[in-house]
């Protein structure tokens, strides 16, 4: 069975990494989380039902792995912050600089959202999961996903003055 999910898993890696970065804000930790989630998926490949949404199954594994990591970290210490590891490549020009400023403002606004709103925002808006799929990944009712997303969008508009 692991060979059957191998190609789908490889194709999903960039999306898994993006979601992991949103969860943990650390590039090295995000890579570790994705690797751990892939290991778990391959070890438990028989629990995936062919014909169901593979990406939703993997996002749930990744999120559960993150929660497990957070529980371990309570006793082990602090995590690294991705903002401390910026590696800027020089780019002369006003456009890229202004874009970085806007992106930075939006990132700060997203960082100020409660974690449950961040998760819903990424799964629905960035990963293009349906409300139902996001609800399954998060283990909450679909109405909860809809209200969290509405509150997240409203708060982002307020914080970025896009209203």
Structure tokens at 92: 């002369």
Mean pLDDT on 105-128: 89
Give the whole-angstrom CA distance, residue 126 versus residue 49: 25
Mean pLDDT of 119-128: 90
pLDDT in tens, 57-87: 999 999 999 999 988 888 776 655 656 655 6
Contact status, residue 62 vs residue 129, Cβ threshold 8 Å = no
Q: What local confidence, expressed as pLDDT, does residue 140 receive?
A: 95
The sign of the torsion formed by the CA atoms of 8, 10, 13, 14 equals negative
Q: Which of 38-42, 88-92, 97-101, 157-161 is predicted least confidently?
A: 88-92
Are 135 and 145 in contact, with CB atoms under 8 Å apart? yes
Enumerate domains of the chain plus CATH numbers.
1-84 (1.10.1740.10), 88-163 (1.10.10.10)
Residue 1: pLDDT over 70: no
Predicted local confidence at residue 92, as pLDDT: 56
Q: In terms of DSSP H, where are the helices of the chain? A: 2-24, 27-43, 54-76, 94-111, 115-121, 131-138, 142-159
Residue 71: its H or E element: helix 54-76
Tell me how far apart the alpha carbons of residues 72 and 49 are, in angstroms, rounded to a whole number.
Answer: 30
pLDDT at res. 88: 47
| Percent of the chain topping pLDDT 70 | 86
Mean pLDDT of the chain: 85
């Amino acid at each position: 069975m692991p060979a059957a999910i191998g190609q789908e898993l490889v194709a999903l890696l960039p999306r898994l990494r993006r979601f992991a970065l949103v969860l943990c804000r650390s590039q090295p930790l995000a890579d570790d989380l994705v690797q751990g989630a892939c290991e778990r998926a391959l070890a438990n490949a028989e629990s995936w039902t062919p014909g169901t949404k593979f990406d939703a199954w993997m996002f749930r594994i990744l999120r559960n792995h993150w929660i497990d990591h957070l529980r371990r970290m309570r006793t082990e210490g602090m995590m690294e912050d991705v903002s401390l590891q910026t590696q800027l490549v020089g780019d002369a020009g006003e456009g890229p600089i202004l874009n970085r400023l806007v992106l930075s403002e939006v990132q700060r606004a997203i960082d100020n959202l409660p974690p449950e709103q961040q998760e819903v925002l990424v799964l629905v808006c960035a990963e293009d999961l349906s409300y139902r799929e996001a609800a399954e990944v998060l283990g909450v009712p679909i109405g909860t996903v809809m209200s969290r997303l509405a509150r997240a969008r409203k708060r982002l508009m307020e914080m970025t003055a896009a209203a």
